[in-house]
Amino acid sequence: MSEDPLLLSRLLDWTAEVAAQVRSGEIFVPTASGERWDLSVVGDDEVEIWVVSWPPGFRTELHDHGPAAGAFVVTSGSLTEGVWDPIAGRRVESRIGTGSASAFAPGHVHDVANHGTEPAVTVNAYSPPLAEAAYYDVHRQRLRRFAAARRTDGAEAPLEPTAADEDVAGGT
Ligand SMILES: [Fe+2]
């Protein structure tokens, strides 16, 4: 899949706009609850944008985003992104602190975790809008898909077992 620098730039711009609303308090994020939380702020045919809170200890499975490119910016706290490197056959971790952003083309496989002691908040954008995702584990330095699900229930949401059971399309 090809990378579209213009699209990635626009995704980063969109996340920055919404991040400013989060920082100003215009969008309130209930981090004190200790629960994972997300809010859809834009959803049209071109892009969807979410605000997501990440309680300490929360992590996603290794996953892709179907045909979507994406971007996220951390507005508070700190996250660790593990990116699958298909050449090296391993995950490569990096810390993404407050104010830092990441953008990715279709085909990007990652997991995201809050290893800190404070909640983290991100603004996430996807284009085209999230429609599906596949979930992976690693077997002998290769990705092995164990589930696929339609994604209409939130950005970077945990895999719902029932959705996975219904939508598994066969793994390789
Ligand atoms: Fe993701």
In the chain the domains, ranked by start, together with CATH numbers, are 5-129 (2.60.120.10)
Q: 76 - beta bridge partners?
A: 121
For a pLDDT cut of 90, what percent of the chain falls above it? Answer: 77
User: Ligand 1 centroid to 3 CA: how many Å?
Assistant: 16
User: Ligand 1 centroid to 164 CA: how many Å?
Assistant: 16
The single residue listed with the structure tokens 């990096």 is 94
Lowest mean pLDDT, pick from 16-20, 41-45, 157-161: 157-161
Q: Which tokens sit at 86?
A: 């298909």
CB 39 within 8 A of CB 137: no
Over the stretch 87-141, which tens digit does the pLDDT of each residue have? 999 999 999 999 999 999 999 999 999 999 999 999 999 999 998 899 999 999 9
Q: Is the peptide bond before 106 cis (omega within 30 degrees of 0)?
A: no
User: Ligand 1 centroid to 72 CA: how many Å?
Assistant: 9
Three-state SS at 87: coil
Residues with Cβ–ion distance below 5 A, ligand 1: 156
User: Ligand 1 centroid to 140 CA: how many Å?
Assistant: 23
User: CA 102, CA 107: separation in Å to the nearest integer?
Assistant: 14
User: Ligand 1 centroid to 63 CA: how many Å?
Assistant: 6
Q: Which residue has the higher pLDDT, 74 or 148?
A: 74
pTM of the entire predicted model: 0.89
Number of residues that make up the chain: 172
pLDDT given for residue 151 in this prediction: 67
User: Ligand 1 centroid to 69 CA: how many Å?
Assistant: 10
User: Ligand 1 centroid to 124 CA: how many Å?
Assistant: 9
User: Ligand 1 centroid to 126 CA: how many Å?
Assistant: 9
